[in-house]
Amino acid sequence: MTPAHVVVPSPVGDLTVVADGGAVTHVLMDAARHRPGAPEVFGDVGDPGEEPFASAVTQLDAYFSGSLTTFDLPLAPRGDAFHQRVWALLREIPYGETRSYGQLATALGDRNLAQAVGTANGRNPIAIVVPCHRVIGADGSLVGYAGGLDRKRFLLALEEPSADVSGRLF
């Protein structure tokens, strides 16, 4: 099949959702470090289209309104086997929670993989849906986010349980 895309307005800027063969391959932020228009990184985003995006648009809208905590979309991120393992772990981080790069590396079986986890996290092609924004530094600090730390802060605040807002660190 030929990829197609739709641009979805959001509180963190326009998101370009790309699908190929009925599965989402990318959710790209307009001002992210790795963004649409970089075919050497992402390949062809295809022509604008409406299908198969209805569910993705609906779920992203629900996420930003605070009524969706888990996405249920067919995904087909493109990356090597290590990247796929990291991205699968990201999807296991519950809404409203965070993990450190070291915790993810340990889950992969080698604490020394923290830097490689960071690289894979930065190459996540499906922002927000594959929640790389939920990964923080070992000391709890907000570090590294291809969409920028302001967006990461916004997404984490959006997911923060309301009872925790008064004591939040960022």
The CA distance from 126 to 119, in Å, is 15
Query: What is the CA 6 to chain-centroid distance, rounded?
Result: 17
State yes or no: is 89 an active-site residue: no
- Give the integer Cα–Cα distance in Å for 19 and 153: 27
What is the Cα–Cα distance from 146 to 135, expressed in whole angstroms? 12
CA distance 109 to 41: 28
- The 3-state DSSP composition of the chain as helix, strand, coil percent (nearest 5) reads 40, 15, 45
Q: Which amino acid is at 107?
A: A
Find the catalytic residue in 19, 45, 113, 132. Answer: 132
- Return the sign of the alpha-carbon dihedral for residues 107, 113, 117, 118: positive
Q: Name the residues annotated as catalytic.
A: 132
